[in-house]
Structure 1
Amino acid sequence: MYLADRSAPAGAKTAADGGPVRAPAVASAVLALGSVSLITDISSEMVTAVLPLYLVAGLGLSPLGFGALDGLYNGVSALVQLTGGHLADRIRNHKLIAGIGYGLSALCKPLLLLAHSLGPVGVILALERTGKGLRTAPRDALISLSTPAELQGRAFGVHRAMDTTGALLGPLAAFFILSLTVDGYDAVFGVSACVAVLGVVVLVLFVPSGADLGAATVPSQGPASAKPGPVNLREAVGLLRLPRLRALAGCAALLGLTTVSDAFLYLLLQDRTGIGEQWFPLLPLGTAGVFLLLAVPAGALADRIGRRTVFLSGHALLLAGYGLLLWAPGLPALPYLVLALHGMFYAATDGVLPAAVAATVPAKLRATGIALVGTGQALARFGCSLALGAAWTVWGSGPALGAAAAGLCCCAAVAGFVLRPAAPEAEAHGQAGTDTDTNRDNGTRPAAAADADTETDPLRRPRGTR
């Protein structure tokens, strides 16, 4: 099951014959978490695949109403990410917080069977997204803590590929359930609840707690760093003083303001091409299939040539998808091209961003740092959903998407400038300033230097790669 690394890291153990012992390039914890995400995503995507049509065609929501609910669906998880990340770091049990998040999401699935109006559906979706927000940062922290810094792009790519396998199977399951049952939506929600419970069981049985994972990837700094002390709120807020983390968080939020949500993209694609309602649940399969094929190669490429290049290229691919929806003729291949570009965008960005964040923050604050960036990005996408829903209601789908495309072009240019590689003199000066600011209050060695292999520029090629 392991993807074996071709070279042993410095200081690796040796076998009995004197040769190096090949450590797995992807840790067992990553594979276990990938399995949990695969199962959970089957459950979640079964619901997500039918939800837009259920709300718009079944409950009669307007595009503005759907935009508000879709924004709530994504915005709630963003607000809770900070809480989940900080709690995981504070109690030093990432698995517990992630398990609570997975469990809460599983409990919400059967409640959809009882809700048939906008109010109850909105509350249930908010609770389900609360569970997602709680689990996201601790889960990604577990991945980064179990993986050497130079291989984190690949590790996140493997996890995202397994996660996307679930995203691929979920809509298929929803499609067949809707085809075979009379009361299709309730059947989808019921089966989804059963699958979600299975994901929680796998998490409890096979995922390590994460308390000792950092020891495998963080160089020892002596007795003082062997057992990091409890994390307090002041240390978490102090992460905002790291210039590199601020740059990542700002650019992720800026680009999120012009990133159309998946549900809206599929509705726009249906509106543009006239795809029948019976085929609508299959649209996420195009995105998921391409994401599945390219997630691992894109992560490995980011480790090799630089995360900045891959990250910005992903947004250029998304912009190309917007352009096809706006200006391409009504070709039969248009849906396939748009969905392929959408999947390539996710492959180039979804795992690369947390890998870059992990390179900028100390191990004991890993979940908090990932949550800070994820929260800003998700809140920005919440705003994008609201704005796009309002623009579609007032101006129509074409002008609304055109505004998003123009905004993405400008924001990508700004992000490319902000994340550009710094000059060597500026890098050295910024590193010294960061070290001073991070430890001004406690007089200790910089936490980032002691607890993590911190990159001078997290979106450049990681140290130790060839």
Structure 2
Amino acid sequence: MDQPLPNAAARPALPRTVWVLGVVSLLMDLSSEIYHALLPAFLTITLGLPVAAMGALDGFAEATASMAKLVSGRLSDRNQRRKPWILLGYGMAALSKPLFPIATTALPVLGARFVDRFGKGIRGAPRDAMIADETPPELRGRAFGLRQSMDTVGAFLAPLAAIGLMILFRNDIRAVFWVAVIPAFLSFGFAWVMLRESGDHAPIKAKIKWGGFRDLDPAVKRLIGVGFLFGLARFSESFLILKGIDAGISASWSPIVLALFNLAYLLLAYPAGILSDRMSPKGLLLVGIGLLVAADLVLAKGVSLWTVGLGVILWGAHMAFTQGIFSRMIADAAPEAQRATSFGAFFFVSGIAALLSSLGAGLIWDRSGASATFIAGAVLAAVAGAMLVLLPRSDRSAT
């Protein structure tokens, strides 16, 4: 009776680094998503800006993050260090938070979002490379799923906190923004103290030279192509909030849309990661793309709160079956000496797609309405799925 179960004894544990980065991500997302939850109403209602302006703000912010990922990923591979870049990224994000409550016009908000997203970009590729460095290949899906799930815990709690704080401070958004500064600095402090970088990945005999995208592994380049099309289809969650407002949710309660989205994301991200260790990641990614098509179609036709809620849940489910899966497939396909660079290139191209997507979604929304915006997203997602199906079976990441 005292003997451990055979499968429990044989099951390896996830590295400590994965858990530490999960907690760091949770705290930072708790802070960032409070701002994200309130910005759509703040920009379009309080400041009176058009939806296209909100789309431009989100798009440029995400593109900034992605360009920073390309640079930090390459530099991280060059000196085979991850932690300094991770700390720099989280530090910049933390320092950007006080800029939001002191902003009085759209321009300072844009500056704050720029610094915040630039910090996110700097830490993104080295962080995912560190997870891949220190996690056995057979556990990578589980590791990325756990980090994504813990990140989403913060994203789920944030809109609930935003609603509670708005009630507590009687709709004083600036006061809420000041409170949101606290978890951001806790995130940086936890990373500074608890994150340890092993040297196991450092002694690489022949480092791969970087001469541009042409030097990337062919399997990585194919995944980047799919990621670009997918990014065009997946515009900012701010449009989900606006859809909720159109359906009758008040501005004060609009963050509940993000809470519902993140709940679905949270519940499915870790199971999806575990599944990707046991079956084809490519198949799971196709499921995620299919869920996005379904979400877009439901949101395009939905006018009631219940229908919009279903569409938001499907949107969160598609994130669970795509974000961690993409990371796992890049980690599998990339050569070790080019791992952070490959992540950076993937995120860079995805960010350019996010910029174009959010800009386009805002323009379509202003000119043709919400329904046309989501239908366009569904069409682009279907094209990305078709491209994924055509990937060669020889790709290590797709089999």
Both structures adopt the same fold (TM-score exceeding 0.5): yes
Q: Paired residue for 1:251?
A: 226
Change (3 A) 1:60 1:238: closer
The separation in 2 between residues aligned to 1:32 and 1:255, in whole angstroms, is 30
Contact 1:286 1:339 in 2 (8 A): yes
The separation in 2 between residues aligned to 1:210 and 1:43, in whole angstroms, is 29
Contact 2:72 2:123 in 1 (8 A): yes
Q: Paired residue for 1:357?
A: 330
| Gaps in structure 2 of 5+ consecutive residues | none
Contact 1:92 1:230 in 2 (8 A): no
Q: Paired residue for 2:181?
A: 193
| 1:179 equivalent among 153, 159, 167 | 167
Report the Cα offset of residue 268 of structure 1.
Answer: 2.4
Once the two structures are superposed, residues 317-338 of structure 1 have per-residue CA deviations (whole angstroms, 9 ceiling, x without a partner) of 011011111224x445213311
The separation in 1 between residues aligned to 2:224 and 2:54, in whole angstroms, is 27
Q: Paired residue for 1:402?
A: 375
Q: Paired residue for 1:51?
A: 39
Q: Paired residue for 1:318?
A: 292
1:334 correspondence with 2:307 = yes
Change (3 A) 1:152 1:287: same
| 1:260 equivalent among 206, 210, 235 | 235
Report the Cα offset of residue 142 of structure 1.
Answer: 1.0
Report the Cα offset of residue 48 of structure 1.
Answer: 0.7
1:95 correspondence with 2:83 = yes
Question: Relative to structure 2, which stretch is displaced further, 29-38 or 405-414?
Answer: 405-414
The separation in 1 between residues aligned to 2:6 and 2:38, in whole angstroms, is 43
The separation in 2 between residues aligned to 1:45 and 1:391, in whole angstroms, is 25
Q: TM-score, normalization: structure 1? A: 0.81
Percent identity between the two aligned chains = 34
Change (3 A) 1:230 1:114: farther
Q: Paired residue for 1:412?
A: 385
Q: Paired residue for 1:294?
A: 268
- Aligned pairs for 1:374-385 within 5 A: 374-385=347-358
Report the Cα offset of residue 5 of structure 1.
Answer: 11
Report the Cα offset of residue 362 of structure 1.
Answer: 2.1
Report the Cα offset of residue 65 of structure 1.
Answer: 1.2
Q: How many residues are treated as equivalent by the alignment? A: 396
The separation in 1 between residues aligned to 2:352 and 2:192, in whole angstroms, is 30
| 1:372 equivalent among 345, 357, 361 | 345
Q: Paired residue for 1:155?
A: 143
Change (3 A) 1:85 1:235: same
Report the Cα offset of residue 315 of structure 1.
Answer: 1.1
Q: Paired residue for 1:447?
A: none
Q: Paired residue for 1:453?
A: none
The separation in 1 between residues aligned to 2:142 and 2:314, in whole angstroms, is 21
Quick one: which amino acid aligns to residue 53 of structure 2? Answer: G
| Gaps in structure 1 of 5+ consecutive residues | 9-20, 215-225, 422-426, 428-455, 461-466
Q: Paired residue for 2:204?
A: 228
Quick one: which amino acid aligns to residue 367 of structure 1? Answer: A
Contact 1:154 1:299 in 2 (8 A): yes
Contact 2:240 2:312 in 1 (8 A): no
Question: Relative to structure 2, which stretch is displaced further, 299-308 or 404-413?
Answer: 404-413
Contact 1:291 1:343 in 2 (8 A): yes
The separation in 2 between residues aligned to 1:172 and 1:5, in whole angstroms, is 40
Quick one: which amino acid aligns to residue 396 of structure 2? Answer: D
Quick one: which amino acid aligns to residue 229 of structure 2? Answer: L
Report the Cα offset of residue 278 of structure 1.
Answer: 2.1
1:282 correspondence with 2:256 = yes
The separation in 2 between residues aligned to 1:52 and 1:183, in whole angstroms, is 15
Contact 2:93 2:120 in 1 (8 A): yes
Once the two structures are superposed, residues 353-380 of structure 1 have per-residue CA deviations (whole angstroms, 9 ceiling, x without a partner) of 1110011112232111111111111210
Quick one: which amino acid aligns to residue 240 of structure 2? Answer: L
The separation in 2 between residues aligned to 1:88 and 1:420, in whole angstroms, is 30
The separation in 1 between residues aligned to 2:371 and 2:34, in whole angstroms, is 29
The separation in 2 between residues aligned to 1:90 and 1:243, in whole angstroms, is 21
Change (3 A) 1:253 1:106: same
Q: Hey, which of these two has a bigger chunk of helix by percent?
A: 2
Report the Cα offset of residue 7 of structure 1.
Answer: 5.6
Contact 2:243 2:308 in 1 (8 A): no
1:167 correspondence with 2:142 = no
SS at the partner of 1:359? helix
Contact 1:94 1:210 in 2 (8 A): no
Which structure has the larger Rg? Answer: 1
The separation in 1 between residues aligned to 2:372 and 2:133, in whole angstroms, is 44
Once the two structures are superposed, residues 33-62 of structure 1 have per-residue CA deviations (whole angstroms, 9 ceiling, x without a partner) of 101001111111111111111111111110
The separation in 1 between residues aligned to 2:135 and 2:263, in whole angstroms, is 26
Once the two structures are superposed, residues 58-99 of structure 1 have per-residue CA deviations (whole angstroms, 9 ceiling, x without a partner) of 111101111111111211101111111112112222011010
Which of structures 1 and 2 has the larger relative contact order (alpha carbons within 8 angstroms, sep 6+)? 2
The separation in 1 between residues aligned to 2:364 and 2:107, in whole angstroms, is 23
Question: Which contiguous aligned blocks of 4+ residues in structure 1 show a shift greater than 4 angstroms?
Answer: 4-8, 229-232
Q: Paired residue for 1:129?
A: 117
The separation in 1 between residues aligned to 2:361 and 2:5, in whole angstroms, is 45
1:270 correspondence with 2:253 = no
Q: Paired residue for 1:438?
A: none
